[in-house]
C-alpha cells in the first residue's frame, strides 16, 4: 500500500512511559518497513493528538498512524471528525498499539507486535468502521461532543478510569484495571439512572454500569459486549443491573471470559441512539478516558472512518442473549 504523506502521532507517556522509551526503535523500524518519508509528532498533554491529527489531515496527510493506547487512539479519532462527521472521508487511520489497555485490538485484527503491526500498515486492508458520537457535559459543566471507536460506559467504568488515570500503571494493564475495579466496587455503589434506547426501551433502573459498545472489550480485557461488531451500524448495550455486592465479586470472572450475558441481572440491548440521565453524579468512561458526567446522548455514525487492519472480517448482526 503506497502512501503519499504519512504522519505518526506518538504519545510518549502511554504504557507508563514505555512508548517514549521505545519510540526511537519504532521510528527506525517504520522507516525501514514503510520505505517512505515519515513525519512524527510527539504529544505533551491532553488534546494534543486531536489537534495534531486534524491539522495534518487538513494539510494533506492521507494516513495518520497513532502510536499509543486506546486513550491516544480516541484523541486521534476525534481529529478525523468535526461536529457533523469526517473532515476527510478519504483519509486512513493506522494504529501501532503501545499503551496500558489497548482493548480495541482485542476486537479488530491489528497486531500488537511491532513488526506485524508495521506489516499491516504496509500490506493491510482499509476497512470502514462505525463510530459513536457522544454529547455530554464536561467537568466544567460545558456542553461537549466527542467521538469514540470502542466503548463508552457510565457508572463504575468512569470511576475505574478516574482511579487508573491517577495511579501508577507500572504493574501492567490487567493489574492496574483489576485493582482499580476492586477498589471502585467497594467504594462506589450502584446508581439510579433513566436509560432510553431508540424508541423501544425507556426505564428508570439501578445499575453498576452501562456499556455502550462498538468493540467488545474495555477496562484492560473485560469482555463486556461479546456480540459487538464494529461495522453493523448498531450499538450493543450491556446493562449491569441491581446485583448485590457479593454477587458482583462472585460473577467478576464473567467480565473477562465473555459469559457476562449469563448473569441474571445483566441485560443486553441493541440500538442506534442511547440517552441516559441521573439525579446522582455518574461518571463517564470514553475509550479509557474520564471526560465528564451524565446526562448523555449517544448516536451511531455508520461507516465513519477507514482503519487499516490485517484482514477484513465478516459483518453480522449479533445480539447478546
Q: What residues contact residue 300 under an 8 Å CB cut-off, 6+ apart?
A: 130, 131, 132, 133, 214, 233, 234, 235, 272, 273
User: Is the CB of residue 272 less than 8 Å from the CB of residue 200?
Assistant: no
Cross-strand partners of 268: 238
Structural contact between residues 153 and 212, judged by C-beta atoms closer than 8 angstroms: yes
Q: Residue 266, Cα to own-chain centre: how many angstroms?
A: 21
Task: DSSP for 163-221, please give it.
Answer: HHHTS--TT-HHHHHHHHHHHHHHHH--EEEEEEETTTEEEEEEESEEEEESSSEETTT
Cis peptide before 295 (omega within 30 of 0): yes
**Span 6-124: which CATH code?**
3.40.50.10330
Strand extents, DSSP E, the chain: 6-10, 38-42, 63-68, 81-82, 85-86, 92-97, 125-138, 143-148, 151-155, 191-197, 201-207, 209-213, 217-218, 222-223, 235-240, 266-271, 273-277, 284-286, 292-309
Domain ranges of the chain: 6-124, 132-302
305: exposed, middle or buried (Cβ count in 10 Å: 0-12, 13-18, 19+): buried
Q: What is the pLDDT of residue 84?
A: 87
Residue among 15, 67, 17 at smallest CA distance from 41: 67
Residue 92: all three cell numbers together: 486512513
pTM attached to this predicted model = 0.89
Q: What angle do CA 230, 308, 238 make, to 5 degrees?
A: 20
Q: What is the distance between the terminal CA atoms of the chain, rounded to a whole angstrom?
A: 40
**pLDDT tens per residue, range 182-235:** 776 766 778 999 999 999 999 999 999 999 999 999 887 889 999 999 999 999
What phi and psi values does residue 259 have, to the nearest 5 degrees? -105, 25
Per the CB < 8 A criterion, the answer to whether 5 and 62 are in contact is yes
Tens of pLDDT, residue by residue, the chain (321 residues) = 566 789 999 999 987 788 999 999 999 999 988 877 789 999 999 999 999 999 999 999 999 999 999 999 999 999 999 988 999 999 999 999 987 668 999 999 999 999 999 999 999 899 999 999 999 999 898 999 999 999 999 988 777 765 565 555 555 555 666 666 677 676 677 899 999 999 999 999 999 999 999 999 988 788 999 999 999 999 999 999 999 988 888 998 898 899 999 999 999 999 999 999 999 989 899 998 889 999 999 999 999 999 999 965 544 433 343
Count Cβ atoms within 10 A of the Cβ of residue 225 and give its class: 0-12 exposed, 13-18 middle, 19 or more buried.
buried
Biggest CA-to-CA distance, the chain: 56
Please list the residues that pair with 207 across neighbouring strands. 191
CATH of domain 132-302: 2.60.200.40
DSSP state of 131: E
Amino acid at each position: 500500500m503506497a502512501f503519499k504523506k504519512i504522519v505518526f502521532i506518538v504519545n510518549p507517556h502511554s504504557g507508563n512511559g514505555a512508548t517514549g522509551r521505545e519510540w526511537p526503535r519504532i521510528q527506525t523500524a517504520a522507516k525501514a518497513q514503510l520505505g517512505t518519508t515519515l513525519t512524527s509528532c510527539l504529544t505533551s498533554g491532553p488534546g494534543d493528538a486531536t489537534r495534531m491529527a486534524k491539522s495534518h489531515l487538513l494539510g494533506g496527510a492521507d494516513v495518520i498512524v497513532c502510536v499509543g493506547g486506546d486513550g491516544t487512539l480516541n484523541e486521534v479519532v476525534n481529529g478525523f471528525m468535526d461536529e457533523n462527521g469526517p473532515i476527510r472521508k478519504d483519509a486512513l487511520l493506522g494504529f501501532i498499539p503501545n499503551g496500558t489497555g489497548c482493548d480495541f485490538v482485542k476486537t479488530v485484527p491489528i497486531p500488537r507486535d511491532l513488526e506485524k503491526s508495521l506489516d499491516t500498515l504496509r500490506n493491510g486492508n482499509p476497512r470502514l468502521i462505525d463510530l459513536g458520537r457522544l454529547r455530554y457535559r464536561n467537568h466544567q459543566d460545558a456542553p461537549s461532543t466527542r467521538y469514540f471507536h470502542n466503548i463508552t460506559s457510565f457508572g463504575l467504568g468512569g470511576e475505574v478510569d478516574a482511579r487508573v488515570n491517577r495511579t501508577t500503571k507500572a504493574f501492567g494493564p490487567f493489574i492496574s484495571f483489576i485493582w482499580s475495579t476492586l477498589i471502585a466496587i467497594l467504594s462506589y455503589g450502584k446508581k439510579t439512572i433513566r436509560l432510553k434506547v431508540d424508541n423501544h426501551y425507556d426505564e428508570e433502573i439501578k445499575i453498576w454500569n452501562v456499556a455502550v459498545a462498538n468493540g467488545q472489550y474495555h477496562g484492560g480485557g473485560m469482555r463486556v459486549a461479546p456480540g459487538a461488531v464494529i461495522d453493523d451500524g448498531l450499538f450493543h448495550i450491556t446493562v449491569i443491573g441491581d446485583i448485590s455486592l457479593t454477587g458482583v465479586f462472585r460473577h467478576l470472572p464473567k467480565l473477562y471470559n465473555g459469559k457476562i450475558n449469563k448473569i441474571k441481572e445483566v441485560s443486553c440491548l441493541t440500538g442506534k441512539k442511547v440517552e441516559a440521565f441521573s439525579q446522582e453524579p455518574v461518571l463517564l468512561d470514553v475509550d479509557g478516558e474520564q471526560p465528564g458526567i451524565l446526562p448523555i446522548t449517544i448516536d451511531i455514525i455508520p461507516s465513519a472512518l477507514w482503519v487499516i487492519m490485517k484482514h477484513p472480517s465478516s459483518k453480522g448482526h449479533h445480539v447478546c442473549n
